[in-house]
Chains A and B, each alone.
Chain A
Amino acid sequence: MSTTLNVVTSQEYKYGFVTDIEADSVAPGLSEDVIRFISAKKGEPDWLLEFRLKAYRHWLTMTEPDWAKVYYPKPDFQKIVFYSAPKAKTPKYASMDEVDPELLRTFEKLGVPINEQATLAGVAVDVVFDSVSVTTTYKEKLATVGVIFCSFSEAVKEHPELIKKYLGSVVPSADNFYAALNSAVFTDGSFVFIPKGVACPMDLSTYFRINNKESGQFERTLIVAEEGASVSYLEGCTAPQFDTNQLHAAVVELVALDHASIKYSTVQNWYAGDKNGVGGIFNFVTKRGLCKGKGSHISWTQVETGSAITWKYPSCILLGDDSIGEFYSVALTNHKQQADTGTKMIHIGRNTKSTIVSKGISAGESSNSYRGLVKVQPKAEGARNFSQCDSMLIGQASSAATFPYIEVQNRSAKVEHEATTSKIGEEQLLYFQQRGIPAEEAISMIINGFCKDVFRELPMEFAVEATKLLSLKLEGSVG
């Protein structure tokens, strides 16, 4: 079923290897020339180059945000490689036979099924390696019901009218520092289009892999569900172990029209750096969904376990009347990891509803913050929000913080916020051990119980793997 997640969640960080493959890279640094190079490399139309340059020019006027509770050396953008792709005989692989065998072996090693014959039916996968999408499975099968699932670059060529219509419609290119950077330099990603009335027959999934030591990954995902359409989308990610930091600055846009439903699940397991905080990914991501239509529904579920620094707030703009936004999150930090994550629920339409369930687990010397905004605009008659933010501390040196922001401009709105902080201490562990249950299993059981409300939103196998991943990440952190 959810092979991508099996991959991401299984065992210790065994994805730290580097693939030795000839890459087609641009020299480090960022300039209009680099952007023109990327655009030319992809054979993009002029309007898209203009979109990029406009974003870049705006980005130059912006400063890196520092309001998040994370501390890190600011990236030197002149040292980052903004385009790196495995060298290929042809620009796009017409069949699997043309893919570099070394690349195939990489994904085999990661357990990502890019060979359709070798996979069990059920999940279609788009595979992004550094700056490009390598392959997308089940494309033809999905096309028979009108579902478009392909790499972003391909979508630009084959469905320019859709891209032009929706790109930047949810996250404008000037939205924030990293969204602007992404808009200028994004290289690939996934595009999903579910036409009117179609329930996507299988889960769609994208697997992201950063390989190049100096490269950043700037992918762009756009998912559009037309009237009455529905889709469940899964995202997984890993990266090699380097002692330097790599930048991952993605933008994800979701658009749901009348009565459409999009469920977006992430298991994020980027390399987190070592125990002393050396290396690891800077994960600065903008994810936003627009519930544009009446009765539309967008649900974010995330299990965040990797990255040295995490800065992301998957959000919902509840524009359509009766639309529903949900955010279910488990964020785990260990050692020196820092996470500042949460959501924004913007209620604009009438009778809009949002639910936020956030579970933060901090171990080691890590710092884990929840930051969330619930905003009810004047016309959002009858808006409802329920937020539950729970933190769990493991050991003495970790920290947790909750920053809820609530802005209500309509009297009929009902907003509820609950928060708890608990601790796995020696008393809790002793209780389990005294019943014959070893410490590691006890932690796993306690954490699983703590995260239950989020895990039940995940596809089942996914949830099982997520539980395993959490236990694994916490190994040796108690007792």
Chain B
Amino acid sequence: MLTIRNLTASINGTPVLKGIDLEIKAGEIHAIMGPNGSGKSTLGKVLVGHPAYEVTGGEVLYEGKNLFELEPDARARAGIFMGFQHPIEVPGVSNASFLRLAYNKKAEAEGRDELDPLEFDDFIHEKIKLVAMKEEFLDRSLNEGFSGGEKKRNEILQMAVLEPKLAILDELDSGLDIDALRVLGDAVNRLQRADRALLIITHFPRILETIQPQFVHVLSGGRILKSAGKGLAIELEERGYDWVLQEAAGSAR
């Protein structure tokens, strides 16, 4: 589904990604872990087309096509979703109308029927159950005055509405208490299918107890230092990141 080859990227001329290789197949769950400032969030932002980052080398193929030829909104309609670490607040735009517009843009791109407000109302009431969101949040302005946890809940609701093929979840666990994390983790699991893939970006291994990855990658200094199975997350939980960094430094020497 997604092939990343020797990807390099910079922000304001400073290199942040220094050669990333990664292959994600349908049905897989990958976790990108690493210390703060390692470049793991950058990888997600580059994939969705954040304009502040410049791709300086390498290539990314999404379903066999050059991802960078697509505008950010076209990438989204092609099935790439990002759950943001810090979702923005938009006063005056109701959450429901935003969700409906996003849904209809994707439906239109896929040649499906768009939903009118009444149809969408039925549709969205099913979806909010999945993330245990209160109805009132639909009528409120998009993310305005939402707590950190409510914003994350809203991100996963959007994921449920758009049913992406590839979902990138950036620090989903930040701002969430344990119960909310379990609810959202379960929701993400329920959305995962054989023809979909997940890329979980996280600093803490805790979330990986609910959303269990088959592959764990440690990213630091703009490079993937180590890739292994789910066991790596447990090891990181117990030992932290330093040993991976030292091991990588040792092998480089």
A interface residues, Cβ below 8 angstroms from B: 422, 426-428, 430-439, 441, 445-446, 448-453, 479
- Determine the distance from Cα of A63 to Cα of B18 in the docked complex, in whole angstroms: 65
Which residues of B lie under 8 Å from residue A448 when comparing CB positions?
92-93
In the complex the two chains form, is B92's CB within 8 Å of A428's CB? no
In the complex the two chains form, is B93's CB within 8 Å of A446's CB? yes
Interface size class of B (residues with CB under 8 A): 20 to 34
Also in contact, A428 and B90, with CB within 8 A (given A433-B71, A433-B72, A436-B77): yes
Also in contact, A437 and B92, with CB within 8 A (given A430-B51, A431-B87): no
Which residues of B lie under 8 Å from residue A479 when comparing CB positions?
51
Which residues of B lie under 8 Å from residue A436 when comparing CB positions?
73, 76-77, 102, 105-106, 109, 162
In the complex the two chains form, is A451's CB within 8 Å of B92's CB? yes
Smallest CB gap from A449: residue in B: B92
In the complex the two chains form, is B76's CB within 8 Å of A430's CB? no
Which residues of A lie under 8 Å from residue B142 when comparing CB positions?
449
In the complex the two chains form, is B102's CB within 8 Å of A435's CB? yes
In the complex the two chains form, is A450's CB within 8 Å of B92's CB? yes
Q: B34 at the A/B interface (Cβ < 8 Å)?
A: no
B106-149 residues with Cβ-Cβ distance < 8 A to A are 106, 109, 141-142
Q: B58 at the A/B interface (Cβ < 8 Å)?
A: no
Also in contact, A435 and B92, with CB within 8 A (given A426-B50, A445-B101, A449-B141): no
Q: B81 at the A/B interface (Cβ < 8 Å)?
A: yes
Which residues of A lie under 8 Å from residue B73 when comparing CB positions?
432-434, 436-439
Smallest CB gap from A441: residue in B: B101
Also in contact, A449 and B93, with CB within 8 A (given A427-B88, A435-B102, A435-B158): yes
Which residues of A lie under 8 Å from residue B71 when comparing CB positions?
433, 438
Q: B49 at the A/B interface (Cβ < 8 Å)?
A: yes
- Determine the distance from Cα of A123 to Cα of B224 in the docked complex, in whole angstroms: 68
Q: B48 at the A/B interface (Cβ < 8 Å)?
A: yes
In the complex the two chains form, is A430's CB within 8 Å of B72's CB? yes
Which residues of B lie under 8 Å from residue A449 when comparing CB positions?
90-93, 141-142
Which residues of B lie under 8 Å from residue A438 when comparing CB positions?
71, 73, 105
Smallest CB gap from B106: residue in A: A436
Q: B52 at the A/B interface (Cβ < 8 Å)?
A: yes
In the complex the two chains form, is A426's CB within 8 Å of B93's CB? no
Which residues of A lie under 8 Å from residue B75 when comparing CB positions?
434
Q: List 20 A-B contacts (CB under 8 A).
A: A426-B50, A427-B88, A433-B49, A433-B72, A434-B72, A434-B75, A434-B81, A435-B105, A436-B73, A437-B101, A441-B101, A445-B93, A448-B92, A448-B93, A449-B91, A449-B92, A449-B142, A450-B92, A453-B92, A479-B51
- Determine the distance from Cα of A71 to Cα of B7 in the docked complex, in whole angstroms: 50
In the complex the two chains form, is B93's CB within 8 Å of A431's CB? no
In the complex the two chains form, is A437's CB within 8 Å of B105's CB? yes
Partner of B88, one of A428, A437, A439: A428
- Determine the distance from Cα of A427 to Cα of B130 in the docked complex, in whole angstroms: 28
Which residues of A lie under 8 Å from residue B92 when comparing CB positions?
448-453
Q: How would residues 183 to 198 of chain B score, 1 for a CB under 8 Å from any chain A CB and 0 otherwise?
A: 0000000000000000
Which residues of A lie under 8 Å from residue B88 when comparing CB positions?
427-428, 431
Which residues of A lie under 8 Å from residue B49 when comparing CB positions?
430, 433
B81 shortest CB reach to chain A, Å: 7
Which residues of A lie under 8 Å from residue B102 when comparing CB positions?
435-437
For A422, A430, A435, A452, which residue has the most chain B Cβ atoms within 10 angstroms? A435
Which residues of B lie under 8 Å from residue A453 when comparing CB positions?
92
- Determine the distance from Cα of A332 to Cα of B90 in the docked complex, in whole angstroms: 19
A432 shortest CB reach to chain B, Å: 8
For B71, B72, B88, B105, which residue has the most chain A Cβ atoms within 10 angstroms? B72
Closest 5 pairs (CB-CB, A-B): A449-B92, A449-B93, A435-B102, A433-B72, A436-B105
Also in contact, A431 and B84, with CB within 8 A (given A426-B50, A452-B92): yes
- Determine the distance from Cα of A427 to Cα of B89 in the docked complex, in whole angstroms: 11
- Determine the distance from Cα of A436 to Cα of B112 in the docked complex, in whole angstroms: 15
Smallest CB gap from A445: residue in B: B93
B148 shortest CB reach to chain A, Å: 16
Q: B98 at the A/B interface (Cβ < 8 Å)?
A: yes
Which residues of B lie under 8 Å from residue A446 when comparing CB positions?
90, 93
B90 shortest CB reach to chain A, Å: 6
- Determine the distance from Cα of A433 to Cα of B72 in the docked complex, in whole angstroms: 6
Q: B31 at the A/B interface (Cβ < 8 Å)?
A: no
Also in contact, A434 and B76, with CB within 8 A (given A428-B90, A445-B93): yes
Partner of A430, one of B50, B98, B101, B141: B50
